[in-house]
Structure 1
Amino acid sequence: MNIILVHGAWADGSCWTGVIERLQADGHHVTAPQFPLTSLADDVARLRLVLELQDGPTVVAGHSYGGQIVTALGNDAPNAPALVYVAAFGIDQGESLGALLSQGPTPPALQHTFTDKQGSIWLPEDDFVTHFAAGVDPAKARVLHAVQQPLTGSSFTDVMGAPAWRSLPTWYLVAQQDQAIPPDAERLFASRMGATTVEVAAGHLAMVSHPDETADLIRQAARSIGGSAAKG
C-alpha cells in the first residue's frame, strides 16, 4: 500500500521517522516529503505532485497544519481514497485557521511565536520543547526544534474550499494532552468528519511520542482500501 505522510508547521518529514519504520516493516511504500510551508497553495501543489508519483491508491495522513494541506485537496484526489488526521486541523468550507484559533485562548505552544521580516512564523525553543513537543524526550525535542520549518503567516488567513474529508473516509487520532490544538477542537473535527477515531494520552507530536498507536491507525485506513496488501 502507498502511504504519504504530511508534516505540519514547525516540523519536517523527519518527525514521522518512528511511524515510517513501522509501516515500512509491514511492506508499505511510504513517502514523507518536505513541504515548503510558503503558502497553502504551494503545499497542496507539492502533495499533488507526490500523489502523482504513487502507483495506485494512496493513504494520505496529515499532522497539525498537514491536516490543512490534506483537507485542501478538495474533491479532486482520485488516487487518495482514505485520509488520516493525527492531531490535525480538519476545518470546513469557509473557515480559516486564524478565525478558528481566535475563538479561544491562545494554546500554550503558540503564545510566543515570532515573525521574521519575510512574514514567516517561528516557535522559540523553550515553547517548542515544553509545549509543542510535550511528552517527547527533551533531547529529541531540541533536535526537532533545530530542524523546524517556519509557517508563512498567510496560512492563518487562507479560507478553505470544499474539504476533502466531505467526500472521503477519514480516520482521526485525538491527542488528549495536546498544547497546540485544543483536544476538544480535535474531537469536533473528528465528529463532524464522521471519522473513525482513537484517543491517545499524547501531546501534539503524537507520531513522535506514540508511533505505535499512530502507525496502527494508518494501518486501519490502509486495510480499508488495500485488502490483502495491508498488514497489521
Structure 2
Amino acid sequence: MRIRIPRRVAIAAGALALLSAAAVPGVAAASGESSPASPKPTVVLVHGAWADSSGWSQVVERLRHDGYPVRAIANPLQGLTSDSAYVSSYLATIHGPVILVGHSYGGAVITNAAASDPDVKALVYVAGFIPVKGETVGDLAARSSSPIPLIATPVPGGTDVSIDPDHFREVFAGDVDPTIAADMAVAQRPANTKAVTDPGAAEAFRTVPSWSLITTQDHAISPDVQQFMSQRAGAHIERVSSSHDVMVSHPGAVTHIIEDADRGSN
C-alpha cells in the first residue's frame, strides 16, 4: 500500500535535513561546498635609518591591492634595545598572524622584536641587517668595504648621525630619480648611535622562517655582507639589481618576496 506524503511535509523534512547537515562538521565539505579562505596575515613594515615609513608607500599600495592588511611603523631610531621594545609593544596590538618586514637597520629590530610574539609567522629582510646575540649593527657594518660618509650631531643623551646629503644618492638611492633622491636626502631621519652600538638580544630567525632580499648594487650594506648574514640565518634568498633603497626603486620585488613569505610559511 503506497502512502502519499503531503507536499508541505516533504518540504519541511528537506529543510530540516539541510539544517542538520550544516550543524555537523564536515558534511558541507563532503557535499562539495568550499570553506571560506583564511584571512591574510597583517604585513608590518619597519623602516631603517635615514628613512621613514613613507618609503614603503608603493609596496603598501601593491599589498593592499592583493588583499593584505598593512601597517608601516615609524621606527624611533633611538637604539636597538629601545626600538625593538617599541616594535614588540606595537605587535601586541595586532590580532592574528603577522609577516614582519625590516629594511636595513629595521632588520636588526625585527630580529629582536619578533622573539616576543608567537603570531609572527615569517620574517622578511629587505637589504636588512641580521645580527646574532651579542653582535651589533656596527660590527656587521664594519664588514662592508666602503664606509658611509656621515654627519654627527650631538643631542641630549647621545649623538645622532645622518648621511652627508652630498653623498646620499650614491650611498642610499643610486637608482632612484635624482630629484626624488635629493628630496629624500633633505628629509632623512637621523639615527642615534645606539642603533649601531646596542648588541642583539634575540635571534627570532631560529624559530621563525625567514626570507632575505639581497640588493646587488647596494653601496650601504655590501651584497657580500647581506649574503653572509642571510645564509647564517638560514633565510630563503632572493636577489634584485637595486640600490639600498629598494622599496622605492623596485617595490615590485619587495612585494614579491613578502608574498612568497606568506605562501612559504603556510
TM-score of the two chains, using structure 2 as the length reference: 0.80
Q: Kindly provide the amino acid, as one letter, of the partner of residue 142 in structure 1.
A: A
Q: Kindly provide the amino acid, as one letter, of the partner of residue 57 in structure 1.
A: P
Q: Secondary structure at the match of 1:72?
A: helix
Q: Which runs of 5+ in 1 are unaligned?
A: 227-232
Aligned match of 1:71: 111
Aligned match of 2:5: none
Percent of aligned pairs with the same residue? 37
Q: Kindly provide the amino acid, as one letter, of the partner of residue 115 in structure 1.
A: A
Query: Structure 1's 104 and 148: CA in aligned 2 closer, same or farther, altered over 3 A?
Result: closer
TM-score of the two chains, using structure 1 as the length reference: 0.91
In the alignment, the residues of structure 2 paired with residue 141 and residue 191 of structure 1 have an alpha-carbon distance, to the nearest angstrom, of 31
Rg: which structure is higher? 2
In the alignment, the residues of structure 1 paired with residue 197 and residue 239 of structure 2 have an alpha-carbon distance, to the nearest angstrom, of 29
In the alignment, the residues of structure 1 paired with residue 200 and residue 84 of structure 2 have an alpha-carbon distance, to the nearest angstrom, of 12
In the alignment, the residues of structure 1 paired with residue 67 and residue 42 of structure 2 have an alpha-carbon distance, to the nearest angstrom, of 10
Match of 1:117 among 131, 145, 154: 154
In the alignment, the residues of structure 2 paired with residue 33 and residue 73 of structure 1 have an alpha-carbon distance, to the nearest angstrom, of 13
The CA deviation string for residues 40-89 of structure 1, in whole angstroms up to 9 with x for no partner, is 22211221222122220000000000001011126322111210000000
Aligned match of 1:145: 185
Aligned match of 2:142: 102
Aligned length: 223
Contact in 2 for aligned 1:73/1:163 (Cα 8 Å): no
Aligned match of 1:229: none
In the alignment, the residues of structure 2 paired with residue 223 and residue 62 of structure 1 have an alpha-carbon distance, to the nearest angstrom, of 18
Q: Secondary structure at the match of 2:70?
A: strand
The CA deviation string for residues 163-215 of structure 1, in whole angstroms up to 9 with x for no partner, is 11111100000000000000001011111111111110001011111110110
Alpha-carbon distance, 1:225 to partner:
4.2
Aligned match of 2:200: 160
Mapping for residues 75-224 of structure 1, pairs under 5 Å: 75-107=115-147, 110=148, 112-118=149-155, 119-224=159-264
Alpha-carbon distance, 1:105 to partner:
3.4
